[in-house]
Amino acid sequence: MTVLKRSLVSSTKTVVEKKQKTASVKPITSFFKTLDGKDAVIESSKLVTEASNQEILPSNSSDISLSEFKKTFVKSLTEEQRQLLDLELSTMEDTWFKALHKEFTKPYFLQLKQFLQAQEKAKVKVFPPKEDIYSWSRLTPLDKVKAVVLGQDPYHNDNQAHGLAFSVKSPTPAPPSLKNMYKAIGIDYPDFEHPGKAGDLTKWAEQGVLMLNACLTVKAHEANSHAKRGWENFTEEVIKKAILENDKKVVLLLWGSPAQKRVEKMRLDKDRIHVLKTVHPSPLSARRGFFEANHFKKCNDWLIENKEDPIDWALVEGNVINYHK
């Protein structure tokens, strides 16, 4: 009897433990509003235990040391959201991440990330490479922005886009619009040495020129293929942070009507934001005023007048330009 009783107690204890363990495992469900206002539910096939309240790092970035702000932000996310926002957590520069973090859990952005995730699973080729989508944030931290150049769509052919508007990866030759930009700089500064086929504008970004496209991704060989997916909403917030919520003096270079329309409803402090408008440098429009606009010199003249260092537009090593003439 003693043996039987002991066996029954042991069996009962095992069943209870199994029930408790099972009860602690729950499917991940993220609730948010869709763009049309209806409730939407995202369910992940993965399960997490109650231990998910512990610190979670991005799934592909175990060696990355997250900032304290990012660590705190991660704790507020569901597992589904954490997976969708892995790229932002691991590749976006901290000052921008902190300024933009409220966007990441909004319905439009989560839906955008779901779309991109589906494209990746379907093995659709997308530009720029994932690690370059937010390169603008790492090269031009929010507190370093001195000038903003707005583009439209990333280049959609191989080895071109790398996260900066108008810029292309080396050794890809400079596209026509960029060639016209070089020509305009040469008009403004005769000492400017033409960089030939080179088209990488990283040097400008490192000096505080935020070169931002309206859309940050594109399907290979299909222009505007990711338009109206949510990127426009996000980059509008980027622009606002750069020129409205940044206490620095900033030059806003608006080339073409799409760029100009993006900020026409924003209330700009004219003492702090210097706006320059002209046509787009594309060969289709450049001859209608781009070369005569003198935007590169006007940008630097205003920065110097406001006791800021000018942008060194030179791209050839050893090319020295006198910006104080």
Tokens matching residue 164: 């900066």
Pairing of strands 218-219, 250-255: unpaired
**From 132, 153, 200, 301, active-site residue:** 153
Phi/psi of residue 160, each to 5°? Answer: -115, -75
Owner of token pair 């070169």: 211
Phi/psi of residue 162, each to 5°? Answer: -145, 30
Tokens matching residue 77: 């996310």
Cβ 69 vs Cβ 94: under 8 Å: yes
Owner of token pair 């960089």: 195
Whole-angstrom distance, CA of residue 49 vs CA of residue 157: 44
Residue whose C-alpha is closest to residue 271's, from 310, 245, 302: 302
Residues near 76 by beta carbon (within 8 Å), at least 6 away in sequence: none
Whole-angstrom distance, CA of residue 139 vs CA of residue 155: 19
Cβ 32 vs Cβ 105: under 8 Å: yes
Whole-angstrom distance, CA of residue 323 vs CA of residue 325: 6
Residue whose C-alpha is closest to residue 242's, from 256, 258, 263, 228: 263
Phi/psi of residue 323, each to 5°? Answer: -90, 0
Cβ 40 vs Cβ 107: under 8 Å: yes
Active site residue 153: yes
Going 186 to 190 to 192 to 197, the CA torsion angle's sign is: positive
Residue whose C-alpha is closest to residue 174's, from 203, 195, 193: 195
Residues with catalytic function = 153
